[in-house]
Amino acid sequence: MTSRSKTLLLALSAMSSAASFAQSGTPPTTQITFYGALDQYVNHVRSSSGSSITSLEDGAYLRSRFGFRGIEDLGGGLFARFQLESGFSTDNGQQADASRAFDRQAWLGIGGSLGEFRLGRQNTVIFGRGDYIDPTSRTLGSVINSFGVPSRFDNDLSFTTQRFGGFLFEVHYALGESTYKPGMQGIYQFGVDYLNGPYRAGYAGLRARPPETALYTTNVRYDNFYANYDYGRGKAYLAYVRTNNSASTAAGNNAGSILGNVGALVTGTNPEVDRYYQIWQISADFRVTPTFRVGALYGRINDTSNSGRDANGAAIAGYYDLSKRTMLYAIAERLSNGPNAGFRLAGSGALKSNFASAADVNGQSVKGVQVGILHRF
């Protein structure tokens, strides 16, 4: 942690302590933490069309961010907790979302021995399972990540259980807040995770309902099954996704999503909601030394409508820990689009300099090489 971060943390803790003591006359039990991450990398991507881009990017492994989280012991086994988190780009200093003070998370929760109930803007169940999917934590290099992952939603109510007999359950409902039959349009999520020694398996799913008066009333869905095995020096992973959350934009046949990944609802105006995709991915990593880890993966996106919007991809990566907080990494990947597919590379944050012309992605192969550094504080 930097000296500035420590100073801010001490100041926040002092203010919290003073306020708590003034109200109760007893020493406070609230703990507040200031935290964050900075992730910068040099990126080079080349399309089989002949176009290429070299850029400085943010967020290959973790989108740069800062945040505050706190917890208070309420007694009797109960606690209150909150988290506020904002993303930004260190290469240009811009906010990830200029319209929000805390675009990544902003929630308040209360919990106890059975689990925790939260209200506010939260990460999805799917997003929270990233570490269980592949060695990249489902970021840059991951074929599943190239498809696009629903990350977080507004007005979200959730409950996560404690782990019982190896099982943990999580449910979410993001209110649609629509005027037509309020509560009908919304986003439903469910997850289950089973952990038993070196074995882990689980499911994370989402259903997003359009308005009942919509032209296309099919729910947007995302079903993710995963399993991994810790063999001691690393992990082997297997993941499967079935979803209809892909749409065309001016940048390519699969460059958009029907359900907004960071807060929007389904409008029911996109006919591509009836096209489903299946994604398979197998991967593994190996810890060469206590501080150096390598990983590789292969994945395939299958368009079940047989319209040629398939793709396959592979990646290799190396991660070297300079310390507990600082990591160097290097990634090389290839994503090969079918004749009518237009998938593009993506990291934890979207590439700010990416192919904007459909001619550079539709039916093309895209190669990328990235070298970067991540620091947590």
Q: Which helix (H) or strand (E) holds 172?
A: strand 167-174
Q: Decide if 247 contacts 256 (C-beta within 8 A).
A: yes
H helices of the chain, in order, are 3-24, 125-128, 143-147
**Are 255 and 366 in contact, with CB atoms under 8 Å apart?**
no
Tokens 């080349």 belong to: 46
Q: Is the domain covering 3-25+38-376 a CATH 3.40.50.300 domain?
A: no
Q: In whole angstroms, what is the distance from residue 221 CA to residue 205 CA?
A: 7
Tens of pLDDT, residues 10-60: 444 444 444 443 344 455 578 999 999 999 999 999 999 999 999 999 999
Give the other-Cβ count within 10 Å of 337's Cβ. Answer: 27
Contacts of residue 179, defined as CB under 8 A and 6 or more positions apart, other chains included, come to none
Which letter does DSSP use for residue 3 in this model? H
Cα–Cα distance measured from residue 159 to residue 346, given in angstroms and rounded to the nearest whole number: 30
Q: How confident is the model at residue 162 (pLDDT cuts 50, 70, 90)?
A: very high
User: Within 10 Å of residue 75's Cβ, how many Cβ atoms?
Assistant: 8
Please give the C-alpha separations between residue 133 and each of 26, 78, 146, 225, in angstroms, as whole numbers: 45, 32, 13, 9
Q: Taking the model in full, what pTM does it have?
A: 0.89
How far, rounded to the nearest angstrom, does the alpha carbon of residue 205 sit from its chain's CA centroid? 14
pLDDT in tens, 235-275: 999 999 999 999 998 899 998 899 977 878 898 999 999 99
The pLDDT of residue 350 is 86
H or E segment at 58? strand 52-58
* Residue 159 dihedral angles phi and psi, to the nearest 5°: -140, 130
